[in-house]
Amino acid sequence: MALGDETTQPRDVSRGSATLRLTTGQALLRFLAAQFVERDGVEHRFFGGCFGIFGHGNVAGFGQALHQHSDLLTYYQSRNEQAMVHAAIGYARMRNRLGALVCTTSIGPGATNMVTGAAVATINRLPVLLLPGDVFATRPAEPVLQQLEAPLRGDVSVNDTFIPVSRYFDRVWRPEQLVPALLAAMRVLTSPAETGAVTIALPQDVQAEAHEWPTGLFDRRVWHVPRLPPDGDALARIVDALRSAHRPLFVAGGGVIYSEAAEALERLVDRTGIPVAITQAGTGSLLHGHPLLLGAVGATGTLAGNRIAHDADLVIGVGTRWSDFTTASNTAFPMAEFASINVAELDSSKRGIAITADARATLEALADALDGWSVADDYRREAELLVRQWDEEVDRLLALDNSPLPAQSEVIGAVNEAAAPDAVVVCAAGSMPGDLVKLWRVRDRKGYHVEYGYSCMGYEIAGGLGVKLAAPERDVYVLVGDGSYLMLAQEIATAVQEGLKLTIVLVDNHGFSSIGGLSRAVGSHGFGTQYRVRTDGSLGLDGDGSPAPYLPLDLAANAASLGAHVLRAQTVEELCEKLEEAKAVDRTVVVYVEVDRYAAVPGYESWWDVPVAEVSEVPEVRAARTEYERARRAQRLPL
């Protein structure tokens, strides 16, 4: 990758020898502030700010630099290191990976609190720069507070746990090592194929140590993000496959959005009549109302998506990682040949004809090469009919009129209705993502933001904060379950601190309704999935007739205690009113609503592989195992 625009800068004759005496922390900050990214001729500053929680390991190093030069990078205080990585992920995704945030922590627990966030970033292929503090490089007095002492290794620290969840990891034992570490970090962060969490562990003494840095390190540097064109042979193979296919299907993943390929996809679809199914990250590739948008496919797929998938003879994935939710654990496409268009070889090589290339460049090349080819009218009409029928099913689910408590689907309908067309809905875990991907009517390419690579409980509020930082002009609606809320809600305080307004819809069903359903499906009666007082040794099983009372939690009061403006709704009508009222509030609002735990959106001819105990004393488990073995026979490896 080109290193940028040095050639356009006036050349300093003394540049080779000029140096600046700075600490490693100060040099790091100057470097970060000088990084830019460019794609399609448009330049952006790459780092939009730095989240941090200070302690020994960063307070006197990078923290000192941030204090001394607060003009170089905006500092944001957070409450929890995992949450600040989530915020950075929300930000990067909203910026289509053309911008990122930095996260700095103390050593030990502050650092390892970021490991989960690193996994979220890497699995979702989103850039974040993590700077955990680390133990002394010079080891003047070991063990330092919070140091891991490995009996057989002197050179490991807790930060080694970042290695498997980072796309690039380095530890800067000496100041000089910072230079190659930073160049490698930027290469990975700005590479559409390689990106993910980048971790540079920074021993606390090194951060504070002064060094003579070559001034060239601080030059403005523009990292070009290429659009890798498709290989001609691979393109020809996909064109041949399409020309002989009768029932082709596109599966649009997050890569379509990140590559800004949605318009190219839409043009191709309009011309060829190939229907499109979407993944969670690909939602927004086509907007609601497009006659060939089938909706989601796979385990949480729509009837339209799953029916077309079932009979498809050629499935072309664009920017998807083919997760088990998309493939219904390899049962969704029983008849199909495949092609995979992906900028990352890791993903393009997973199924069928591999095209390792940029999504937009490939779709445009495909449109040219297909030269007027289209699917048969019958197939197009069949797909369009299924789309219309699915739309009616959504209408039904959004107006269930469930009582006494509303169904979650009605809450989704109310929020969708209240939200402006360019608002962003944010979610991550529980029963909500599966319902959302089926029911949410997307009106903006960036209007749907569900983290479903890691489906990490607790992503929602912090991730929403990052989305709002990246797009302050948009309304951000966070849909969060009571379980996720209890795991990581404290960034409400950060939103209040920063004057960033989120509208958080807190959906309470007294526990883990998603896993309760899963538990019942595997014969375990919802064991351990309700928030109930422990009475007779049981935590309350679904349907056991005498459940103990729910825990006396007041999550709305909890949200108010963190500084949110809180509104409570009991019915769908009230919810609609409160969502309107929320629009006039100028700070983060939490709209609290209780829903019926059992009024779930059904599955539509789909399956998800969750192994059931092979032997058990419980009859329901044995029945579930029999059913599991039957369903598993439909599994087909993509060979």
Ligand X SMILES: Cc1ncc(C[n+]2csc(CCOP(=O)(O)OP(=O)(O)O)c2C)c(N)n1
Which residues make up the interface to ligand X (CB under 6 A)? 429-432, 455-458, 481-484, 509, 512-515
Nearer to ligand X, 119 or 200 (CB): 119
- Shortest separation between residue 430's beta carbon and ligand X, angstroms: 2
Angle separating helix axes 491-498 and 459-470, nearest 10 degrees? 20
Nearer to ligand X, 266 or 594 (CB): 594
Nearer to ligand X, 310 or 510 (CB): 510
How far apart are the C-alpha atoms of 220 and 217, rounded to whole Å? 9
How far apart are the C-alpha atoms of 265 and 290, rounded to whole Å? 12
In order of 254, 285, 297, 344, 385, the CA distances from 276 in angstroms are: 13, 9, 9, 21, 14
- Shortest separation between residue 558's beta carbon and Mg ion, angstroms: 15
- Shortest separation between residue 407's beta carbon and Mg ion, angstroms: 13
- Shortest separation between residue 562's beta carbon and ligand X, angstroms: 17
CB 162 within 8 A of CB 115: yes
CB 637 within 8 A of CB 322: no
- Shortest separation between residue 514's beta carbon and ligand X, angstroms: 3
How far apart are the C-alpha atoms of 582 and 171, rounded to whole Å? 46
In order of 4, 25, 298, 606, the CA distances from 310 in angstroms are: 47, 56, 10, 10
Nearer to ligand X, 158 or 461 (CB): 461
> What residue has token string 């609503």?
593
> What residue has token string 């330049």?
43
Interaction partner, residue 429 (Mg ion, ligand X, none; CB < 5-8 Å by kind): ligand X
- Shortest separation between residue 393's beta carbon and Mg ion, angstroms: 24
Interaction partner, residue 431 (Mg ion, ligand X, none; CB < 5-8 Å by kind): ligand X
Q: What are phi and psi of 105, to 5 degrees?
A: -135, 170
Element (H, E) at 521: helix 513-521
Per-residue contact string for residues 475-514; x = within reach of Mg ion by CB under 5 A: ------xxx-------------------------x-----
Nearer to ligand X, 213 or 512 (CB): 512
Per-residue contact string for residues 11-50; x = within reach of Mg ion by CB under 5 A: ----------------------------------------
Q: In terms of C-beta density within 10 A (0-12 exposed, 13-18 middle, 19 or more buried), how is residue 237 classed?
A: middle
**Hey, which bits of 253-397 come out as E strands?**
276-278, 293-296, 314-318, 337-342, 353-356
Binding segment for Mg ion among 63-71, 240-248, 340-348, 473-481 (CB under 5 A)?
473-481
In sequence order, what are the beta bridge partners of 43? 38
- Shortest separation between residue 117's beta carbon and ligand X, angstroms: 11
How far apart are the C-alpha atoms of 65 and 80, rounded to whole Å? 21
Q: What are phi and psi of 219, to 5 degrees?
A: -65, 150
How far apart are the C-alpha atoms of 507 and 568, rounded to whole Å? 11
Q: How many residues does the chain have?
A: 639
- Shortest separation between residue 488's beta carbon and Mg ion, angstroms: 14
Nearer to ligand X, 35 or 519 (CB): 519
Q: Is 434 an interacting residue with respect to Mg ion (CB under 5 A)?
A: no
Nearer to ligand X, 430 or 526 (CB): 430
Nearer to ligand X, 442 or 555 (CB): 555
Interaction partner, residue 207 (Mg ion, ligand X, none; CB < 5-8 Å by kind): none
- Shortest separation between residue 440's beta carbon and ligand X, angstroms: 15
> What residue has token string 């962060």?
189
Interaction partner, residue 65 (ligand X, Mg ion, none; CB < 5-8 Å by kind): none
Interaction partner, residue 157 (Mg ion, ligand X, none; CB < 5-8 Å by kind): none
Nearer to ligand X, 76 or 454 (CB): 454
Q: Is 526 an interacting residue with respect to Mg ion (CB under 5 A)?
A: no
Q: Which residues bind Mg ion (CB under 5 A)?
A: 481-483, 509
